Structure 1
Amino acid sequence: MRKKTADASRARRTRRSVRKQPRPRTHRKPLARNRKRPARPPRGAEVPDAVQPAGMAEPIHRVSDSPPAVSVVIPVMNERRHIAGVIREAFRVHPDTEVIVVANGSTDGSAEIARRMGAKVLNYPQPLGHDVGRAIGAELARGEACLFLDGDMIIPSAQLKPFVQAVLQGGVDVALNDYSGPTDKMQVHSVVLAKHALNTMLNRPDLAGTSLTAIPHALSRKALETIGTQALSVPPLAHAKAVRLGMRVVPVHRVNVGKMNLPRRERERVAPLERLIMGDHLEALEWLASHSGARAGFADSRSARSDRGGDV
């Protein structure tokens, strides 16, 4: 009897001690909080301006240490209907290619589509302006050749490869689209005339109306470093610098972007864009004049007439 009483007493003490043990703490709540908290970069880590520019809404993916052979830069603003096709063709231009999408002012999910396609995405909440995305993307690009496209034109990779090959294998610094615009009309467009005039003043009449204004085009690493990526926000200025600073500028392949631009012309206000491009050409001419003397490379016709014995 005593043995049973002692056993019962020990059992009661054991149950009381078990009840007094504090319950083990779970980590569910801390883990839930940790999932919401964004990870901080390591202390002392440096983030280049090109990787995280001012005004960016969200960080971009870190890049690997090994630079690719080709970088493709694509400015995008509300192009969800086209951007997947543009990126797909861009990745096909070379086995070692990175695609950089500069989404600016996009509200239709274009940036998310670009990420899913494997592109590196710079996302700006506000529109940056015409051509500015090219300069920003070029600053981030690491390839030996940098190909520039637009987000609303799906150009087959077979039409893009000649530009990349000209830079990587042909020693070309600036591979232009061999498209001068229509000149067989009674009234030639003012932008077409401006392109011809700029090339004439650059002493490159052989370039006709080809220009960095028209995509696609590709630049070598040497060209980007020589003319500066900032100049790409004003394509005629970048074009003038490339020619004037001794880059090898060659029209390598023709892509008729005039026909592809027809839907864009219906969406955009053509007159403001035309004025912008004309202003860009004036800026290029101003730079050329300041770096070539008062006559921007033209011989003084009065001096020439004087040398021939004509009237001054």
Structure 2
Amino acid sequence: MTNEFNPRDPVAKPKLSVVIPARNESTTIAYVIEEARSVHPESEVIVVVNGATDRTAEIAAQMGAKVIRYSAALGHDVGRSLGAKEARGDIILFLDGDIVISTDLLTPFVQAVENGADVALNKYQGRVNTKNVHNVVLSKRVLNALLSSSELGASSMTTIPHAISRKALRVIGCDNLAIPPKAQAIALTSGLHVAQACFVDVGKVNPKRRKSPDPLSQLIVGDHLEAIHWLFSQSDSRANRSDLGRQRERVRD
């Protein structure tokens, strides 16, 4: 007879850690946690509540999650980094507190890591059937192309859900998870196995933003520029691309 896994036991080691940054998400957080903790019988849920003025933290605690609370808003994706530092599982699944995703759609990300992937990404590509490709989609595609991974399209660690292995966490480093495109660049240049796990249409369920220009889009583009800057700092001026015998010195003769 085996003992049932108890996520509150400090000695017990979960197979899966689910990290959920949240701010004022009292209307959705219970549903997010309920779906997430059903993905694996040996799982812990970590909710990083920051800058909340509602009952998000109290509801998460009532749902059995480990709550890490900050009175100030930490900014986009910082909660992922802080939650990952507390994670004990072999697999870490990243979600957001305002988007409810069913267990059936979350499970393939964990299974992908169990089957050998170090990083399991959402196949979501953003809006592509349009004349004007969104600058965020373009940024994701450019970065993946520079990383010699054009087959990923716009799949990105910027997009939830995604999951990583404990090995990937060690290679990438918790701090770098705060800049998801940089984390992806580190993963790919380090030879980690990055795969597309499942399609989840987060564009359909994500709360609509009405500000123009959208400050979040600008932040994400900036994150990709930071990742590209890091990539060039690790390589030559052509990101290790061949010059195909071009004799540049002739121009200067």
TM-score computed with the length of structure 2 as normaliser: 0.92
Cross-structure match for 2:229: 286
Q: Structure 1's 128 and 72: CA in aligned 2 closer, same or farther, altered over 3 A?
A: same
Q: Indicate the residue corresponding to 2:27 in structure 1.
A: 81
Segments of 4+ in structure 1 off by > 4 A? none
Partner of 1:240: 185
1:292 partner SS: coil
**Displacement of 1:269:** 6.6
Aligned to 2:121: 176
2:73 corresponds to which residue? 127
Between structure 1 and structure 2, the one with the greater Rg is: 1
Distance 1:150 1:297 in 2: 36
Q: Which amino acid aligns with 1:265?
A: R
1:86-97 correspondence runs (5 A) = 86-97=32-43
Aligned to 2:3: none
Specify the alignment match of 1:211 in structure 2: 156
Listed as ranges, the gaps of 5+ residues in structure 2 are 1-6
Extract unaligned runs of 5+ from structure 1: 1-60
With a CA cutoff of 8 Å and minimum separation of 6, indicate the structure with the bigger relative contact order.
2
Q: 8 Å contact 1:305–1:311 — kept in the other structure? A: no
**Given that residues 202 and 297 in structure 1 are in contact (C-alpha distance below 8 angstroms), is that contact kept between their aligned partners in structure 2?**
no
When residues 127 and 255 of structure 1 are mapped into structure 2, their CA distance, relative to the original with a 3 A threshold, is: same
Compute the RMSD of aligned alpha carbons. Answer: 1.9
Separation in 1, partners of 2:217, 2:125: 16
Match for 1:265 among 209, 219, 236? 209
Q: Which residue identity does 1:281 align to in structure 2? A: H
Is the 8 Å Cα contact of residues 203 and 297 (structure 1) preserved in structure 2? no
* Aligned equivalents of 1:111, 1:299: Cα separation in 2: 52
Corresponding residue to 2:48 among 79, 91, 102: 102
Task: Tell me which residue corresponds to 1:275.
Answer: 218
Distance in 2 of aligned mates of 1:118 and 1:304: 62
Structure 1 vs Structure 2: percent identity of aligned residues? 52
- Paired AA for residue 148 in structure 2: N
Question: Please, what TM-score do these two structures have when normalized by structure 1?
Answer: 0.75
Contact 1:167 1:174 in 2 (8 A): yes
1:220, CA displacement in angstroms?
A: 0.1
Equivalent residue in structure 2 for 1:298, among 223, 237, 241: 241
For residue 304 of structure 1, report the CA deviation from its aligned partner: 3.2
Match of 2:89 among 135, 139, 143: 143
- Paired AA for residue 72 in structure 1: V
Letter matched to residue 273 of structure 1: L
Indicate the SS of the match to 1:265.
coil
- Number of aligned residue pairs: give it: 245
The answer to which structure has the higher helix fraction is: 1
Shift of 1:288: 0.4
